[in-house]
């Protein structure tokens, strides 16, 4: 881990294939690679999706909260691999997604994602998303390890 047991956005961008405007985690604050990760997303009014979701009443789309949860799980698993830059993780299934409270500009999301099971290239995760102490979303999801294009 980086300074103070955290990884910053530069370290995140070095490992995951996502780029602006589709990077939805800002910092890793705790991680056991391939097991569990805690990541942060600072939600600001400058997010491009707020232009249309919804004018005058901005709410972060639930599908993007799920995407951020998946990116955190992806980072943790990739960080545990011998050659992570040759591998991607693609979402294949979502189970029991619950969006409990709206996420609005000014919120700080804390993602806690753990790997439940890995069998060959199939991985199953469970994630929870908090704003402060409030659980705002949770899901169980599956993803498959694949070869990264161009490697």
Residues near 48 by beta carbon (within 8 Å), at least 6 away in sequence? 21
The answer to whether 16 touches 7, Cβ cutoff 8 Å, is no
State the catalytic residue, choosing from 18, 53, 90, 126. 53
Nearest to 65 by CA among 135, 144, 129, 131: 129
The answer to whether 68 touches 123, Cβ cutoff 8 Å, is no
79 is known as an active-site residue: no
Active centre residues (catalytic): 53
């Amino acid at each position: 881990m980086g300074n103070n047991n955290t990884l910053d956005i530069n370290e995140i961008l070095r490992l995951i294939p996502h780029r602006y405007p589709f990077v939805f985690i800002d910092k890793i604050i705790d991680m056991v690679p391939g097991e569990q990760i805690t990541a942060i997303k600072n939600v600001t009014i400058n997010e491009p999706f707020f232009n249309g979701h919804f004018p005058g009443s901005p709410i972060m789309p639930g599908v993007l909260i799920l995407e951020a949860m998946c990116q955190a799980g992806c980072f943790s698993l990739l960080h545990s691999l011998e050659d992570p830059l040759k591998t991607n993780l693609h979402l294949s299934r979502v189970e029991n997604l619950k969006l409990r409270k709206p996420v609005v500009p000014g919120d700080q999301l804390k993602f806690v994602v753990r790997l439940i099971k890995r069998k060959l290239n199939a991985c199953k995760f469970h994630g929870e998303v908090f704003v402060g102490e409030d659980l705002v979303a949770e899901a169980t999801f599956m993803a498959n390890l694949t070869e990264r294009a161009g490697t």
